[in-house]
Amino acid sequence: QKSNSLTDFDAVVVGAGFSGLYMLYRLRETGFTARVFEAGDNVGGTWYWNRYPGARCDVESIYYNYTFSEELLKEWSWSAKYAEQPEILSYINYVADKFDLRRDVQFNTRVQSAQYNEKKNRWTVQLNSGEKVSAQYFITAVGCLSASNVPKFKGLENFKGEWHHTGHWPHEGVDFQGKRVGIIGTGSSGIQAIPVIAKEAKHLTVFQRTPQYSSPARNTPNDPEHLKNIRKNYSDIRAKMRHSITGIPEEPRNISVFDDSPEERQRVFEEAWQKGGLLNLTYSYNDLSITPEANAIVAEFIRSKIRETVIKPEVAEKLLPRFYYGTKRTIIDTDYFETYNRDNVSLVDVKEAPIQEITATGVKTEDAEYELDMIVFATGFDAMTGPLFKIDIRGKDGVSLKEKWAGGSHTRTYLGLGTAGFPNMFMLTGPESPSVLSNMMVSIEQHVEWVSDCISYMCDQNQAVIEAKEDAENTWSNHCREIADQTLFTKTNSWYMGANIEGKARGFQIYLGGVGTYRTICDEVAEKGYVGFILTASEKSAVN
């Protein structure tokens, strides 16, 4: 069942970031025709759009790359422990060229809708160019953090200066020289951008709603000898990544924070702080993200570091986070807290006095007005469901995904890969998979390989339709929530919970059982003939 015409494909893939490109590669390798549609004018996804100053990956570069090609692993060298956005984008371009992927990607093309036709067992995909294409399989590779969120501030349209969202940064760059810049938001993006913008701008005003925990990244150039060793041992490293909790080959120390004396804890945390990195603090003990009392100890350690770093006590006080450490995305930085010691940086607490409106000349809060030439929105994304809901996806009986999931309050998936009522649709790194709480590269490769194996199996077994069973997805969704409820994640208002978007329903949408366990579950499902899915040879004859 191979389709060859220009408008009919075995699979349509939405998005040419890391997941969409690898999906294309695998589909081709397994003999299927595929077309990727990409809104941008080039490959890269997240790394194409997020070009703000300081943008960098906080997973070590040696783990944040494809691992499917030995040749590619040998050819590419990352310059630093944490790669900057331009280097990651060059890598993606290199991969696209190396495997000749671009010829099956249609750029500058947004998928507006995708509708499943039950009689024909085809997805009809409507593009913004006016074209329509069809495919047996519809695969979303839209990313988890691609629907940028500019809060609906009153008066933004009146602002006379420039404004930019970090996730939609102009390709020609932005000149901060001599400008009074305001930045709203202190998540990962804000915390990466603030130190860099502060060095260039005349003055930087940071509008902070929630102070964040952040620890030093301690980025360094990669030593060629170290890279050589990594290459030599990559198959072991890859195996560890795949069976780890987060896709990074590190595990928490198997010891409770209460098993150590206060002096020993201090020593352990200090060592982790000096070492830097994403997980060193969190993995110092095994109960920091589970027990409130344990979490309070690491939280206080970080607050003490903030007090030590920031010279003015009244500024330090405003920067002290009070929620459970790690329940908003863990952040690592380069000179973030130090930046508040600069004369040209000021901090405004907009929790105390919220932003009332944007005026022609700046930002007005409940108690003051700030004159600005430029505003940077580091205000995040409508995560997980946001990118999917931007497409009008309709399954059986014309029911839309948005309707099925009640706008996000009733997300139901089986393994985060499929959802009942939407046959032959796969979501790469979808809600209720480990996705954003893992090394995305590991999760992407696992999903892509699982989906392409599944499509090959369908072809070999003369099956035409695969659809998640409702009871299987209810069990899976409940399981995801049960695991999350055992942690502190659900106790904090975060974008993981949908809490950053006005009117969005709250609910935790990530599988927290770990990427290793998740992989085992997905593999078992496949080995048992895709148990939990209904496979049908034609629309009518169910075989599983």
Nearest residue (CB) to ligand NA7, 268 versus 347? 347
Residues in region 337-376 near ligand NA7 by CB under 6 A: 350, 355
Q: How many CB atoms lie within 10 A of CB 351?
A: 10
Query: Which of these, 305, 259, 314, lies nearest to 281 by C-alpha position?
Result: 305
**Eight-class DSSP state of 137:** E
H helix and E strand count, the chain: 15, 20
Q: How far is the CB of 381 from ligand NA7 (least distance, A)?
A: 6
Of the two residues 151 and 230, which places its CB atom closer to ligand NA7 in the complex? 151
- In the set 500, 514, 534, 536, which binds ligand NA7 (CB under 6 A)? 500
Q: Is residue 244 within the footprint of ligand NA7 (CB under 6 A)?
A: no
CB 330 within 8 A of CB 246: no
Q: Which residues contact 460 (CB under 8 A, 6 or more apart)?
A: none
Q: Does 51 bind ligand NA7 (CB under 6 A)?
A: no
3-class state of residue 153 by DSSP: coil
Secondary structure class of 52 (helix, strand, coil)? coil
Does residue number 510 form part of the binding site for ligand NA7 (CB under 6 A)? no
Pair of tokens at residue 528: 């048992």
Contacts of 357 by beta carbon, 8 Å cutoff, 6+ apart: 153, 154, 155, 364
**Nearest distance from residue 103's CB to ligand NA7, in Å?**
31
* Residue 44 contacts ligand NA7 per CB under 6 A: no
Using alpha carbons, select from 422, 428, 419, 425 the residue that is nearest to residue 470. 419
Residue 436 interacting with ligand NA7 (CB under 6 A): yes
For residue 238, the minimal CB distance to ligand NA7 (Å) is 23
Give the pair of three-digit tokens for residue 474: 């209810």
Smallest distance, ligand NA7 to C-beta of residue 388, A:
17
When the beta carbons of 182 and 187 are compared against ligand NA7, the nearer one is: 187
187 near ligand NA7, judged by CB under 6 A:
yes
Q: Does 504 sit near ligand NA7 (CB under 6 A)?
A: no
Distance of closest approach, residue 92 Cβ to ligand NA7, in angstroms: 17
Q: By CB under 6 A, is residue 210 in contact with ligand NA7? A: yes
What are the DSSP E strand ranges found in 56-143?
A: 105-106, 111-117, 122-127, 132-140
CA separation for the pair 528, 419 (Å, rounded): 19
Q: Are 394 and 113 in contact (CB under 8 A)?
A: yes
- Shortest distance, position 479 Cβ to ligand NA7, whole Å: 23
Q: Are 101 and 141 in contact (CB under 8 A)?
A: no
Report the alpha-carbon distance of residue 321 to residue 524 in Å, rounded. Answer: 42
Per CB under 6 A, the segment of 287-295, 379-387, 413-421, 528-536 that binds ligand NA7 is 379-387
Query: Minimum distance between the CB of residue 532 and ligand NA7, rounded to whole angstroms?
Result: 29
Identify which of residues 405 and 495 has a Cβ nearer to ligand NA7 in the complex.
Answer: 495
Residues from 89 through 128 that contact ligand NA7 (CB under 6 A): none
Between 185 and 423, name the residue whose CB sits nearer to ligand NA7. 185
Q: Which residue's CB is nearer to ligand NA7, number 166 or number 536?
A: 166
Residues touching ligand NA7: how many (CB under 6 A)?
22
Chain centroid to Cα 39, Å, comes to 18
Answer yes or no whether residue 184 interacts with ligand NA7 by CB under 6 A.
yes
Q: Does 379 bind ligand NA7 (CB under 6 A)?
A: yes
Q: Which stretch binds ligand NA7 (CB under 6 A): 180-188, 242-250, 262-270, 274-282?
A: 180-188
Instruction: Give the alpha-carbon dihedral of 216, 219, 225, 228, to 10 degrees.
Output: 90
CB of 153 to ligand NA7, least distance (A): 7
137-176 burial, b at 16+ Cβ within 10 Å, e below that, comes to bbbbbbbbbbbbbbeebeeeeebebeebbbbebeeeebeb
Which residues inside 137-156 make contact with ligand NA7, applying CB under 6 A? 145, 151
Angle between helices 18-29 and 440-460 (to 10 degrees): 30
Closest CA to 369 of 380, 381, 382, 358: 358
Residue 344 and residue 277: Cα distance in Å, rounded?
Answer: 28
Based on the shown chain and the rule CB under 6 A, indicate whether residue 186 belongs to the binding site for ligand NA7: yes
Region of 34-42, 186-194, 283-291, 424-432 interacting with ligand NA7 (CB under 6 A): 186-194
Residue 329 makes contact with ligand NA7 by CB under 6 A = yes
Give the interface segment with ligand NA7, choosing from 64-72, 122-130, 184-192, 284-292 (CB under 6 A).
184-192
Of these, 32, 138, 336, 495, which contacts ligand NA7 (CB under 6 A)? Answer: 495
Q: How far from 19 is each of 15, 143, 440, 515, CA to CA, in Å?
A: 8, 8, 9, 16
Position of minimal CB gap to ligand NA7: 187
Q: For binding to ligand NA7 (CB under 6 A), which residues are involved? A: 145, 151, 166, 184-190, 209-210, 329, 350, 355, 378-381, 436, 495, 500
